[in-house]
Structure 1
């Protein structure tokens, strides 16, 4: 009986996405530009690099609520004078792309830009400000009708941009601001992720031990439910695929490739778009301020995993090597 119910749930979730080809789970793989915003005067060209990589692509913008402002920074402790905002930095940069897309009306590749807002702290006033900013650009945004039951997944009205946020366990503010407060019959314009299994509940073990444990998690224990009208994507750390994460990965093997496929396939069966995070490969000389925890150590080591993620039909691959990954994805088509 349980398998029958699950099978019916899979069919309902997948059918809702399948009405819109590019947004269907597994329909396409696109580069997700990790942290594409300036940081204390550095990395000012990251968003330009992402835009130059070609369309479609996804992009991560971190937001922190600091002194009554929503700032594009990694966290509130990193705030300094002159930090940009979505309205002062991101949206002006992408305006030409969005306006051209709406004018031309070539919808086959929409959304051209998937905007992942990594909201570092989410008091209600922060989310209210984000909603006010999005009000200005509503004509660009992919939406879905609010139903009277979150399990009733309505079709997407696909536009040139789609906005995603990450929901975590015991995280109620984002869903409240972006879904619950939308009236039935209204339009949902921000879509959340399904909260994942907490690999270290209560911080009971050291950080590295918790990371190491992720590689032994069963795929069907990681995701806590099927896609619904709000929760439409899932992102997982690479430590679920390779023990210890990118910096401790070792050789790529057939066993690891199978585990990657199993994770992506399971997410798709539950109706989710699936993202893998964050696949970098560089030497010390090539480092441009990237996070060492995401480094496989060489471009070749990252490349073999990029290719495996494309083969597994992951929907988003996060990296700091925007143009290189985008080029590889294009060549694999």
Structure 2
């Protein structure tokens, strides 16, 4: 091998080793699909979780949970529940079990977590959070964890597992108590929260006026809370990026691209994984039961926004079009 080839080989080897040693869940390290609402709804859309899995790992998946009559059901809130709604134990975990067991057998931690589970908890009485903690006892071997420190501002390193679990924290809710505060020092954190989300639309503006107002709000006014040992991610409404959000968007251009980049950089500076929701681009003929409020109307409109989010090093992009977004990320 000549000197030039030897140097190139050494550079490639060192680059590969560096990439393999860099934590995959560090802010800016990778971009993954978040499969929006990947669960059946009143007997429909039963293929969503299967589609998310088939689109390829690593990926993130959203499961909405509501506590109804002593049961934790996967549904879009207690008011929309039916007795036939599935639960995590019977629906979600069996579907990902083969992937998790194979990952543990292979032991290749370079791309862990393969699955990030976002639990969108619609109501959180203590018994609901107790149930979730008890359920997770059965799957400890799968989970990405971190040791609780004596000071929440001291962030301990993640211990990689093939699955990671996230929740969203809101002002005055009790998730942090059950998933972090009640743990002993050096106990394993198994569920990680978001920045603490304040009350949305506190002045009760009409919906469209409120959506249009977000683009002018500096991120410093949204939060200055730094990521810590429990709070590790931030899901951003796309209306902060461009006026009108998805449904009432204008032209995509340099101004919007720069705003997106600045939002991601600000969140990363605070230490968060940065996610954006929910970016769809479907026609009426393509609609598979998706919501118009998240729709740009065509792939031609949404694809530049996906690519801009990736170029800005966003960590999570939520969409209902799992396959198309996954292909875009892989090609990027």
Q: SS where residue 21 of structure 1 aligns?
A: coil
Report how many aligned residue pairs link the two structures: 313
Q: CA deviation at 1:219?
A: 2.0
Deviations 1:200-232 (A, max 9, x none): 12x432222221111111022222311000000
Name the counterpart of 1:236: 236
Matched, 1:99 2:92: no
| Alpha-carbon RMSD | 1.3
The residue number in structure 1 matching 2:259 is: 259
Equivalent position of 1:224 in the other structure:
224
Counterpart in the other structure of 2:288: 288
Equivalent residues in 2 for 1:42-191, closer than 5 Å: 42-171=44-173, 173-191=174-192
Give the distance between the partners of 2:106 and 2:330, measured in 1 at CA: 22
Shift of 1:19: 7.6
Q: Is the 8 A contact 1:194 1:224 kept in 2?
A: no
Q: Which residue of 2 aligns with 1:327?
A: 327
Decide whether the 8 Å contact of 2:148 with 2:229 is kept in 1: yes
How many Å apart are 1:197 and its aligned residue?
4.9
Check conservation: 1:33, 1:58, Cα contact below 8 A: yes
CA distance in 1, matches of 2:62, 2:224: 24
Tell me the equivalent position of 2:273.
273
Conserved 8 A contact 1:274-1:315: yes
CA contact (8 A) 2:68 2:78 kept: yes
Partner Cα distance (1:198, 1:304) in 2: 31
Q: Matched residue of 1:137: which SS?
A: helix
Q: Partners in 2 of 1:177 and 1:19 — Cα distance?
A: 32
Q: Residues 199 and 213 of structure 1 are in contact (CA less than 8 Å); yes or no, is this contact kept in structure 2?
A: no
Q: Distance in 2 between matches of 1:52 and 1:146?
A: 35
- SS of the residue aligned with 2:24? helix
TM-score (norm 2): 0.92
Q: Any gaps of 5 or more consecutive residues in structure 1? A: 1-17
Q: 1:175 to 1:209 in 2, by over 3 A?
A: same
The separation in 2 between residues aligned to 1:57 and 1:199, in whole angstroms, is 28
Q: Deviations over 1:169-211 (max 9, x none)?
A: 222x10011001111111101000002454512x432222221
What residue is the counterpart of 1:35 in the other structure?
37
| CA distance in 2: counterparts of 1:218 and 1:199, whole angstroms | 15
Query: Could you state the TM-score of these two structures normalised by the residue count of structure 1?
Result: 0.92
Q: How far off is 1:286 after superposition?
A: 1.2
Q: Is the 8 A contact 2:38 2:61 kept in 1?
A: yes
**Segments ≥4 residues shifted beyond 6 Å:** none
Structure 2 stretches lacking a partner, 5+ long: 1-19
| Aligned-residue offset at 1:82 | 1.4
CA deviation map 1:60-102 (0-9, x unaligned): 0000111111000011011112110000100000000000000
Partner of 2:262, secondary structure, is helix
Task: Give yes or no for contact 2:170–2:198 (8 Å, CA) kept in 1.
Answer: no
Once residues 312 and 224 of structure 2 are traced to their aligned partners in structure 1, the CA distance between those partners, rounded to angstroms, is 21
Question: What secondary structure sits across from 2:233 in the alignment?
Answer: strand
